[in-house]
Structure formats: C-alpha cells, structure tokens
Structure 1
C-alpha cells in the first residue's frame, strides 16, 4: 500500500471519511490511499488491536485520524459511532460501508446465530450507519455513501446462502438510498468488487490462485475516483474485477 503514495494527490483535503473494516484488506487500502489524498480518516473495525496498528500507520501520513472499535451489527453501537465521529472530527463527508463477514456452510449446517451474524454485519450495519450519517449529511448540505458489495450480489454459488442474501440485499439497499437521498445532495454508490488478494478470501480459500485476484489497492483507487467526481454527477453502481476474474463473466 505504500506504493500508492506517488499516485495519490492531496485532492481530498478537508474531507472526513468514515471507513468500516479499516484494519485490513480493502479497508486498510482505502484508509491509506484516502489519507494520502489528504482526507481525515475515521478508521473503524471490530478488532481493536488491529485497528491500533492501522491508526499508527495512518498518523504517519500526517492527517487527522480517529479510531472507533465497534460492532457494525449492533444498532446502538452504530449510532454511537457516527455521533462520536462527528463530535471528534467536526463533520463526516463520506461513509464507506466496507466491513463484511461470511460463514461458508451448506444451509443445513448454518446456525441461526451465524445467519443473523452475516446479515447483521453485511446488511443491517450498513443500513444503520447510512441512516444516522444521512441525517448529519443533510445538515452539511450533502455527502457521499459507498457500499462495498461483491459479485456475490449478482450471481450465486453453493454454501453461501447468508453471504449472497446479505450482498444482494446490500445492493438493493444501495440503489434505494441512491434514489431517496439524491434530493439531499447525498450521492450513493454500490461497488461490485471482484476477487481481491485479502485475508477475507485467501484465509478461507487457500487453493485460490492469488495471481488471478486483484490487489485491493486497485479497488480502492476506483472508489477514490468516485469520490472525486464533480458534485453534479453520481455513479450509482461500479463493478471492479480482476482481469482474470473467474467468478464473473
């Protein structure tokens, strides 16, 4: 991720960006790239110890950084996190719903608890965070929300019922928010991200060929480009695939 420094320009100066799942994978790539681009970062994650290391790296880039360790699946925690971020940073211009989880099991083996955990993290959490940040963004006069979905929101494979349900739901939620929040100058984008070289994928599927996956920095670059669009335009849905993607035509 350090190699992005030469490519990034300080063109997000003055923006404050709230990122979930910021301690690793795409979230860490986003936090680094956007901080290099001049943004202040609210880095959040369920794992407090990993978040501390992430914050140390971000502070070395010179911008303002605030960290919040919380569970996006907990509605009250989501509301408190947005309120804390606004209090500490003064404003929130962008919310990136990136945190995600999965339980890869046949439907007969998925426990009720695991089903609710996946839906809570991947769908309920983004809804709650968007609900609370949108109220703040209306007061600011606008803002942006980015929802990181997956090719799992466009097709299906076995043993991933909870993940597919959550990501198809997230895509629908994103488009609904796009329609509802446009009159308030809040631009909402769904990002369909193909396979990335991240622990989320490689730790669970060690047989995958990393060379056929994309660097999460590439997806972060695409999201950054969306944030840099003129206010008069919005990308409602963006698909970013590795050139050798096998899970999408």
Structure 2
C-alpha cells in the first residue's frame, strides 16, 4: 500500500501548547513533519516547539487566538512565507465552561462556540484555497464523543462539538471535488489538563493517553492518495460513560 510519508509535510496544529495538541505535535514531528504549533498560551507552545527541536524534530511556535480572524490570516501568511506551503491543518484548540444553562452567561456561550466551531471554520476557510491551488491537502477536525451523546452542564460544548462534526462532514463532501481530504477525529476521555484540571476526582485509569489519539491522527494522515477517512472514533477501553 502506497502510504503517505510525513517527511517534510508542513502541518499547522492549533492548541499545541499542551494536552492532545502537544501530543499530536510531538508525534507528527517524530514522523518527520514540519510542525507549526499555534496556541493562545505563547510560553507553552514555544516550550513544546523547543522540546521537539531538542529531540531532533522540526517545530515552530505561533501565538494565535483562533477566535481572531485577523490573527488567523496573519499566521497563515507567516507559515506560507516561512515554509513555502501548508499541507495539513489540524483544528484541535478547544475550550469548555461547565455550567447549567441558567448559570451559563451569553459571553461564555459565545466564547465556547467561537473557539470550538467558529475557529475551525475560519482556519479552514483561510487554508482551503491554498490546498486547492496545491492540488491536495488534508484538514483534520478534533471533535469529541460530546458530538455523539450528551450530559448536563455542557450545552455550549455539545452544541460546538455536534456542530464541528457536521461542519467536518459537509467540508469533506466539498473537499473531495478539489482533492482535499477532511477527517473528523471523535475522541473519548484523555489524561489531559482539559479533564484532569477541571475534574480532579476523575480516575485517570479510565482515560486514555493522548499519545494514542495522536497516533490515530498520524494514521489518518498517512492513507494513500486514493483513500480518505471521513470519521474515526478513538475511545478509552474503560471509559464507563460510553455504552
């Protein structure tokens, strides 16, 4: 099987400063990719890029708020200027506010939807014409089992992740016409700050290592040119909240 080689591929990863984004950045850099890590927390993403370079990989850090259209345009332009092309966009940055609808402010709702749904749209819209001109490319949207089921105190998060899954499949349908692959990676609970910092009582043994999910992302990106994986789900074996 003629699998795609990651060597030299220029890959944007949002939310690369910690958690799954960091794991994806490290995994793809180890496979030979040129990782352009973006994060709203500049120190963290810079440290990740430095660690990757110290390990012999190629990584660069960019301060980016995915809610800001102007910052996105400037960052995409910088990546093109500095690296000549963009081969893959990984929309990983995410946030949540765990409150009931009565306690959830409109500002909280807007922030969660802006980061989790509008951000991937803005980035995909900025990168799509570049991939189209190149004749190929890949967009990966990191969604969640929150796009398949629901729990309480998470209306904004569910709305954003169900929306991102729908957006991803719709963009997949459009992208095929231009030889652009689009994949939604539906992720179950991971041992990352996103869960452990907010829910410290969670048993880490029922969660999965984010590096396992990062390996799935790498697998998706290495499929032959004639094959695309529109959606893949990656669950911890012991996560009790999933049937």
Alignment TM-score > 0.5, same fold: yes
1:5 corresponding residue in structure 2: none
Mapped partners of 1:158, 1:82: distance in 2: 37
2:204 corresponding residue in structure 1: 210
1:58 corresponding residue in structure 2: 52
1:30 corresponding residue in structure 2: 24
Determine whether 1:85 maps to 2:79: yes
SS of structure 1 residue aligned to 2:35:
strand
- 5 Å matches for 1:189-208? 189-208=183-202
1:108 corresponding residue in structure 2: 102
Please list every run of 5 or more consecutive structure 2 residues that lacks an aligned counterpart in the other structure: none
Mapped partners of 2:168, 2:93: distance in 1: 15
Mapped partners of 1:66, 1:88: distance in 2: 10
Determine whether 1:42 maps to 2:20: no
Does the Cα contact within 8 Å between 1:35 and 1:61 map onto a contact in 2? no
Deviation (angstroms), 1:51: 1.3
Mapped partners of 1:61, 1:146: distance in 2: 25
Which structure has more RCO (C-alpha within 8 Å, separation ≥ 6)? 2
Deviation (angstroms), 1:14: 1.9
Deviation (angstroms), 1:62: 2.7
User: Bigger CA drift: 231-240 or 77-86?
Assistant: 77-86
Does the Cα contact within 8 Å between 1:19 and 1:96 map onto a contact in 2? yes
Deviation (angstroms), 1:65: 2.2
Deviation (angstroms), 1:85: 1.1
User: Bigger CA drift: 76-85 or 106-115?
Assistant: 76-85
Determine whether 1:117 maps to 2:102: no
SS of structure 2 residue aligned to 1:107:
coil
Mapped partners of 1:118, 1:95: distance in 2: 20
Please list every run of 5 or more consecutive structure 1 residues that lacks an aligned counterpart in the other structure: 1-9
Aligned counterpart for 2:148 among listed residues 154, 158, 174: 154
Does the Cα contact within 8 Å between 2:131 and 2:180 map onto a contact in 1? yes
Aligned counterpart for 1:137 among listed residues 107, 125, 131: 131
Does the Cα contact within 8 Å between 1:21 and 1:99 map onto a contact in 2? yes
Deviation (angstroms), 1:163: 0.3
Mapped partners of 2:58, 2:207: distance in 1: 32
User: Bigger CA drift: 202-211 or 77-86?
Assistant: 77-86
Q: How many residues align?
A: 240
